[in-house]
Amino acid sequence: MLKAVIFDMDGVIIDSEPFHWKVNKKIFRDLDIRVSVEEYQNYIGVSNTDMWTDLKKKFRLPHAVDQLVAMQVGGNVEFMEQEHFEPIDGVVALIRNLEKNAVAMALASSSPHKIITMVLDKFAIKSSFSIIVSGEDFKKGKPAPDIFLKAAELLFVSPKDCVVIEDAAHGVAAAKAAGMKCVGFANGNSGNQDLGKADLIVSALNALTLENITALANAAYKE
């Protein structure tokens, strides 16, 4: 039974992966490390801390992980303050429709709170989410289920009654590990993501309605 919808943010509410790549490419150059597009796609959907912990180890970077994360967050904030950006087509209408029909909603993003707040305030949808959780608050980021389980706990909803909307393979894996249904949004700008474990895959958020999300929540789970 549908009781809550949990949204990812990057690649679902905002098409952020292209500018994240732009910002991170500059950081990689400044650090004199080489990270290919293919390698970088493995980090889409994971927390900044997890990404930089891995890169620090791989390239033997002398910087503290917190320092590397701060460089990335600072670059993203600067970009968002200077550039114009819009929500992904259909997502605000979907959020408004769910809100109108009293469906509880949470945001569970690997991004830090500062970035989450900037995006939700920009699109005037922060009040639509009764719960907001950030990957920076968890030791284990996606594909671990922790962030989604915490969102369900704070919503006072059973994981089996939640539907997650995700664009990244790590996010889909986290949702399924949490025992939740998952919609995979095939966002071309999120790279070559394997969304095969999602219960439903859509190429446009305009295709998502309360009716098909409810039907998904009520359907028998995949074995």
**pLDDT tens string 128-171:** 999 999 998 998 889 999 999 999 999 999 999 999 999 999 99
List, in sequence order, every beta strand (DSSP E) within 36-124. 104-109
Residue the block writes with tokens 């290919």: 36
Range of the domain at 61: 17-82
74 belongs to a structural domain: yes
> Is residue 31 packed enough to be buried (19+ CB in 10 Å), middle (13-18) or exposed (0-12)?
middle
| Structural domains of the chain, count | 2
Measured distance CA(147)–CA(156) in Å, rounded: 14
223 belongs to a structural domain: no
Q: In terms of domains, do 129 and 76 share one?
A: no
Measured distance CA(110)–CA(115) in Å, rounded: 10
Q: In terms of domains, do 95 and 50 share one?
A: no
Q: In terms of domains, do 69 and 94 share one?
A: no
pTM: 0.86
Least confident of 57-66, 76-85, 105-114: 76-85
Measured distance CA(73)–CA(56) in Å, rounded: 16
36 belongs to a structural domain: yes
Place 222 in a pLDDT band, splitting at 50, 70 and 90.
Answer: very low
Q: In terms of domains, do 136 and 73 share one?
A: no
Name the average pLDDT for the chain. 92
Place 125 in a pLDDT band, splitting at 50, 70 and 90.
Answer: very high
Q: In terms of domains, do 9 and 25 share one?
A: no
Q: How large is the average pLDDT for residues 72-98? A: 91
Element (DSSP H or E) covering residue 200: strand 200-202
Place 4 in a pLDDT band, splitting at 50, 70 and 90.
Answer: very high
